[in-house]
């Protein structure tokens, strides 16, 4: 383009969009991580097992919270991402590419071969 340096043009050509499957996986991983953070927060807010006093009184509150949140976020993120990959949405489009005709040729016939009998 006019007024554009060579480096800017090369950078524009190198910039590509992510593959739709990769974007799909990253989106669901982040969605699962947000769900994991929400679950960890609800666990600390409602405190059904008395975890918050243990974390607060241990003297290692920040590392304990960090490990709790990272554990929940990676577990839930991986679970949601794996479920999204295993159960993809239904597409109404026909498959693209590949052969559209018969796989076997029209004039194909099986070949019969006579094997010699074995003598024991």
Rounded Cα–Cα distance for residues 81 and 27 (Å): 8
Instruction: Categorize the per-residue pLDDT at 49 as very low, low, confident or very high, splitting at 50, 70 and 90.
Output: very high
Q: Give the domain ranges of the chain.
A: 21-85
Rounded Cα–Cα distance for residues 56 and 15 (Å): 47
Task: Write out pLDDT tens, residues 66-104.
Answer: 999 999 999 999 999 999 999 887 777 776 666 666 667
Can you give the pTM of this predicted structure? Answer: 0.63
Q: For residue 3, what pLDDT is reported?
A: 62
> Quick one: average pLDDT of 27-53?
96
What mean pLDDT value characterizes the chain? 85
């Amino acid at each position: 383009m006019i007024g554009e340096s060579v480096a800017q043009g090369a950078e524009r050509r190198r910039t590509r969009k992510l593959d739709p499957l990769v974007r799909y996986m990253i989106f669901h991983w982040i969605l699962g991580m947000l769900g994991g953070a929400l679950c960890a927060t609800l666990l600390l807010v409602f405190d059904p097992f008395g975890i918050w006093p243990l974390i607060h009184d241990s003297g290692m509150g920040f590392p304990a919270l960090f490990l709790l949140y990272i554990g929940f976020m990676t577990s839930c993120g991986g679970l949601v991402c794996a479920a999204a990959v295993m159960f993809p949405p239904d597409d109404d489009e026909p498959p693209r590419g590949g052969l559209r005709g018969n796989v076997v040729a029209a004039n194909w016939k099986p070949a019969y071969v006579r094997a010699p009998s074995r003598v024991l």
